[in-house]
Amino acid sequence: MFVLKDAVGLTEDASKLVFLDQTQLPLKEVYVETDDIDEICDAISRLKVRGAPAIGVAAALGLAVSFNSAIRCGGNTEDRAALFHSYAEKLAASRPTAVNLSWAVNRMLFVFDRSVRDGLSGTGLRHVLLDEAISIKTEDIEKCRMISENGLKLIGKGSRILTHCNAGHLAVSRYGTALGPVHLALERGLEPVIYVDETRPLLQGARLTAYEMVRDGAETILVCDNMAASLMSSGKIDMVFVGCDRIAANGDVANKIGTCGLAVIASYFGVPFYVLGPTTTYDPDTPDGKSIIIEHRRAEEVTEMFYSERMAPEGVGVYNPAFDVTPSSLVTGYVSEYGLFDNFEDFKKSLI
């Protein structure tokens, strides 16, 4: 089974957030310890911490430790409330598309406001916030374990699976979403073959998913993003597994840019296309994919290859959305901690 430490956690004394700086993978494994709110926000914004569930966990743990560090210096209740809310606002704004981030921040805000109304302060308040953040991580671990078991039902001996971006151990608290079932399949001797999209422009597939899969002993084949149609037309792919950053109320799915193209190709060639993720990525307040705010990132991510020099001429325009939206009509099934669902309506019923 995969042996890398958790990508997001706490120091032994629970005073600081610990995260694996994923911008340095696969060349270096560098863990960062901090209780500084600006450094935590920067880590999320710059993709040092990434993956929708991991972002939510990092935000919860980071909010607790940064606030706890700040209030040890004193201050009255009103100042502390203003400080906590300002930290929460900074974190929520660090990345706009993944709903897990705002979900985790709002959950921490609810616990903070309730605790203050109940008269908690000082050590008592610090403990409540830290306990809630740890609970969010613990719940994520359990959800990912259940997603992995449910997705494993789709994998047979030697199944050939294409995946995009990274939705594995590095993107969550443990196990993974889209890659969680693959880790279990390897553990149980099913010997799946994993085709990994490189995932331009930041190469999360090449740098992170390939790194995970090779470390776990999988037969791993790295392909350029524009090779998926060739693979599927040749009958070399049995199924596509992807994660999700937000699922709208109608079942449309926001995920890493390039996911929609894979879904279109898979539909054309009759290859099953599965979306795997915890129900915390479901956003009933977003009616459809068109309503999802899509994060746009720096032009340099496209004009300069990762670890390399500039490859495009100065003055060229750049379109660089970090995500796209896959219509629910192109999704064969949804896998959550509650089960494997052949259609979105059954997925929604599982939430009741």
Written in H, E and C, the secondary structure of 162-230 is EECCCCEHHHCCCCECCCHHHHHHHHCCCCCEEEEECCCCCCHHHHHHHHHHHHCCCEEEEECHHHHHH
Give the pLDDT band (50/70/90) at residue 345. Answer: very high
Checking if the pLDDT of 75 tops 70, the result is no
For the segment 44-62, the average pLDDT, to the nearest whole number, is 95
Q: What is the mean pLDDT of the chain?
A: 94
245 in catalytic set = yes
Checking if the pLDDT of 96 tops 60, the result is yes
For the segment 84-104, the average pLDDT, to the nearest whole number, is 93
Question: CA–CA separation, 250 vs 177, rounded Å?
Answer: 21
Half-sphere CA count of 117, side-chain side, radius 13 A: 6
Question: CA–CA separation, 151 vs 101, rounded Å?
Answer: 24
Residues 123-152 have pLDDT tens digits of 899 999 999 999 999 999 999 999 999 999
Token pair recorded at residue 321 = 């959305």
Checking if the pLDDT of 72 tops 90, the result is no
Residues 186-216 have pLDDT tens digits of 999 999 999 999 999 999 999 999 999 999 9
Question: Is beta strand 219-223 parallel, antiparallel or unpaired with respect to 193-197?
Answer: parallel
Give the pLDDT band (50/70/90) at residue 77. Answer: low
Give the pLDDT band (50/70/90) at residue 121. Answer: confident
Please give the DSSP secondary-structure letter assigned to residue 51.
S
Checking if the pLDDT of 74 tops 60, the result is no
Query: What whole-number percentage of the chain has pLDDT above 90?
Result: 89
Q: Across the strands, what pairs with 310?
A: 304
Question: CA–CA separation, 56 vs 98, rounded Å?
Answer: 9
Query: What whole-number percentage of the chain has pLDDT above 70?
Result: 97
Q: Of 27-41, 73-87, 287-301, 336-350, give the lowest mean pLDDT range.
A: 73-87
Checking if the pLDDT of 52 tops 70, the result is yes
Checking if the pLDDT of 2 tops 60, the result is no
**pLDDT of res. 71:** 80
Residues 279-313 have pLDDT tens digits of 999 999 999 999 999 999 999 999 997 777 889 99
Q: Across the strands, what pairs with 223?
A: 197
For the segment 167-183, the average pLDDT, to the nearest whole number, is 95
Q: Do the Cβ atoms of 225 and 250 come closer than 8 Å?
A: no
Q: Do the Cβ atoms of 149 and 183 come closer than 8 Å?
A: no
Give the pLDDT band (50/70/90) at residue 78. Answer: low
**pLDDT of res. 197:** 98
Catalytic residue among 140, 197, 216, 245: 245
Give the pLDDT band (50/70/90) at residue 40. Answer: very high
